Amino acid sequence: MKVKNCMQKDLITIGKDALLQEAGALMKKHSIGHLPVVEDEQLVGFITESDLRQYSFPS
């Protein structure tokens, strides 16, 4: 089986200049643990729940 046969096609993304709180709210709303980060409709990275915890509560 190829990846294209089981991949998610309707991606929920967030812009690179969005606030961490916005990313957290989107993840919670859609029950997902990561978001693709985009700039001008191009993928520039990912943010995860773990990233949010790390940067929201630095040690």
pLDDT digits (tens, 9 = 90+) for 2-59: 999 998 889 999 999 999 999 999 999 999 999 999 999 999 999 999 999 998 776 6
pTM above 0.75, yes or no: yes
Which CATH code for domain 3-56?
Answer: 3.10.580.10
First to last CA, the chain: 43
Q: Which pLDDT value is given to residue 42? A: 96
Token digits of residue 41: 């409709």
List the domain boundaries for the chain: 3-56
